[in-house]
């Protein structure tokens, strides 16, 4: 497929500024409490990411941050929406538990059909939706932050088939650190982050996937946001940028080094809203 055939689709996103972002605790392998965060730089980088998305023609809503919740900047983790329905988050760690209520308030205040979860899940961190793949398919990760039974619950809430994928490397603790939707029907992923059986499932479902390597994953190159043509990823992920370019997409690099200190990058900071 040529570059000119990659057509962008206008998206709507939710982000939360890192006004209170720090690394006060370690709940993933990337977090180091001994290295201080530069709050001003984190906010500057976040603002650039937001401007990049709006300059590409997308709408970005902003969630009000709360001082006692330093990880709220990772807005993708608070819920997962499909066709106007929202499956809320229930965080695995108590340090982030109160974030779920902030996201719930956002959706309930709008015209969304919101469902409170019974099972632990971390929203779009462990769910990805491809509306044109097999009639509309949800990919769902488990192994570290989301319980497998939450996949069944999400399927009942959202009315879309859910494919469960087992994550096996703690460095890639959320699905969005190991896999991303490049458009409405295709993905990119790092095979070794998944169990052998899940690798076979992905190979069968997505024979044209862009395959990433460990260096791409370590650079958080899979933690990207794509509108179907423009692939927004961090500046460290240069090799991943070349891979998506070779597949006909246009890489757009944004510096997000401060957010990586908390174990996230572009996608972690951006929840897609699907009315």
Q: Look at residues 28, 17, 43 and name the one whose alpha carbon lies nearest to residue 263.
A: 28
Give 102's contacts (C-beta < 8 A, 6+ positions apart): 63, 64, 66, 69, 72, 78
d(CA 14, CA 110): 13
Catalytic one of 16, 151, 230, 268: 268
Q: Which whole-number Å values give the CA distances from 233 to 227, 239, 244, 267, in the listed order?
A: 12, 11, 10, 8
Judge whether 268 counts as a catalytic residue. Answer: yes
Catalytic one of 58, 103, 151, 174: 174
Contact 162, 151 (CB under 8 A): yes
The three-class DSSP label of residue 250 is strand
The three-class DSSP label of residue 256 is coil
d(CA 211, CA 228): 17
Contact 125, 176 (CB under 8 A): yes
Contact 75, 269 (CB under 8 A): yes
Q: Which residues are catalytic?
A: 174, 268
């Amino acid at each position: 497929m040529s570059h000119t055939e990659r057509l962008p689709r206008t998206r709507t996103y939710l982000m939360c500024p890192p006004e209170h972002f720090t690394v006060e605790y370690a709940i993933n392998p990337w977090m180091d409490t001994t290295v201080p965060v530069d709050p001003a730089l984190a906010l500057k980088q976040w603002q650039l990411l937001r401007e990049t998305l709006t300059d590409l023609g997308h709408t970005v809503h902003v969630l009000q941050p709360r001082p006692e919740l330093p990880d709220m900047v990772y807005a993708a983790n608070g819920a997962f929406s499909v066709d106007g329905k929202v499956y809320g988050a229930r965080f695995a760690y108590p340090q982030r538990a109160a974030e779920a209520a902030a996201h719930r308030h956002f959706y309930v205040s709008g015209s969304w059909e919101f469902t409170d979860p019974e099972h632990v899940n971390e929203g779009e961190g462990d769910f990805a939706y491809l509306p044109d793949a097999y009639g509309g398919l949800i990919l769902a990760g488990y192994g570290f932050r989301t319980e497998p039974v939450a996949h069944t619950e999400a399927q009942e809430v959202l009315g879309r088939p859910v494919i469960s994928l087992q994550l096996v490397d703690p460095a890639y603790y959320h699905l969005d650190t190991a896999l991303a939707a490049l458009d409405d029907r295709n993905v990119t992923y790092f095979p070794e982050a998944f169990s052998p059986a899940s690798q076979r499932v992905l190979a069968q479902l997505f024979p044209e996937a862009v395959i990433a390597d460990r260096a791409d994953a370590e650079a958080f190159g899979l933690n990207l946001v794509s509108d179907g043509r423009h692939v927004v990823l961090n500046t460290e992920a240069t090799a991943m940028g070349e891979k998506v370019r070779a597949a006909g997409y246009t890489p757009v690099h944004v510096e997000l080094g401060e957010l990586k200190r908390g174990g996230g990058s572009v996608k972690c900071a951006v929840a897609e809203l699907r009315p």
